[in-house]
A and B are shown apart, each in its own frame.
Chain A
Amino acid sequence: MKEVNLVLGVIGADVHAIGNKILEYALTNAGFKVHNLGVMVSQEEFVKAALETDAKAVLVSSLYGHGEIDCRGLKEKFIEAGLDDVLLYVGGNLVVGKQDFSEVERKFKAMGFDRVFPPGTMPEEAIKALKEDLGLM
Chain B
Amino acid sequence: MRLGLFLDIGSTYTKGRVVELERGELLASAKAYTTVETDVTLGINDCLLELSRQGIKEKYDIKLASSSAAGGLRMVAVGLVRDLTTEAAKKAALTAGARVEKSYSYELTPEDLDEILALKPDIILLAGGTDGGNKKYLLENARKLSRLKLKGTILVAGNRSAASEVAGILEGKVDFRIAPNVLPDLNTLNIEPVQNLIRQIFLEKIVEAKGLKKAEKIVDKVMMPTPLAVLKGAELLAQKIGELILIDVGGATTDVHSVAKGLPTLAGVSLKGLPEPYAKRTVEGDLGLRRTVKNVVEYGREEFYNSGITSGQLSDYLEKITKDPTYLPQTPQEKEIEKALTRICVKTAMNRHAGRLEEIWTPAGKSFVQYGKDLTRVEALVGTGGPLVYAEEPEKVLAAAFFEETNPNILKPKNPEMYLDTEYILFAAGLLAENDRETGLKLLNSVKKL
Contacts and interface: CB of A to CB of B under 8 A. Distances in A.
A52 B362 contact: no
Interface residues of B, number: 25
Contacts of B437: none
B361 interface: yes
Q: How large is the interface on A (under 10, 10 to 19, 20 to 34, 35 or more residues)?
A: 20 to 34
Contacts of A3: 132
A48 B81 contact: yes
Given A13-B362, A64-B362, A52 B367 contact: no
B369 interface: yes
B180 to A, nearest CB: 16
A64 B363 contact: yes
A40 B367 contact: yes
B185 to A, nearest CB: 6
Interface in A13-50: 13-15, 33, 35-40, 48-49
Nearest to B360: A13
A37 B270 contact: no
Contacts of A54: 129-130, 132-135
A132 to B, nearest CB: 22
Contacts of A37: 186
A66 interface: yes
Contact of B132 (A33, A38, A49, A65): A33
Contacts of B84: 48-49, 52
Contact of A53 (B83, B133, B362, B367): B133
Nearest to B80: A52
Interface string B360-373: 11111001010000
Interface string B124-163: 0000111011110000000000000000000000000000
Nearest to A37: B186
B323 to A, nearest CB: 47
B133 A48 contact: no
A6 B401 CA distance: 41
Contact of A52 (B186, B270, B363, B369): B186
Greatest chain B CB density within 10 A among A14, A39, A51 is at: A51
B83 A52 contact: no
Contacts of B187: 35-36
Interface in B70-94: 80-81, 83-85
A52 B361 contact: no
Contacts of B183: 52
B284 to A, nearest CB: 25
A66 to B, nearest CB: 7
A51 B83 contact: no
B134 A52 contact: yes
Nearest to B159: A54
B173 interface: no
B360 A40 contact: yes
A49 B84 CA distance: 8
B132 A15 contact: no
Given A38-B270, A39-B270, A40-B367, A52 B133 contact: yes
A3 B363 CA distance: 37
Contacts of A52: 80-81, 84-85, 128-130, 133-134, 183, 186
A54 B363 CA distance: 33
Given A13-B362, A14-B362, A15-B364, A49 B134 contact: no
Nearest to B81: A48
A38 B129 CA distance: 20
A5 B186 CA distance: 12
Contacts of A55: 133
A39 B133 CA distance: 22
Interface of B: 80-81, 83-85, 128-130, 132-135, 183, 185-187, 270, 272, 360-364, 367, 369
Q: Which 4 residue pairs spanning A and B have beta carbons closest together?
A: A53-B133, A13-B362, A54-B133, A54-B134
Interface of A: 3, 5, 13-15, 33, 35-40, 48-49, 51-55, 64-66
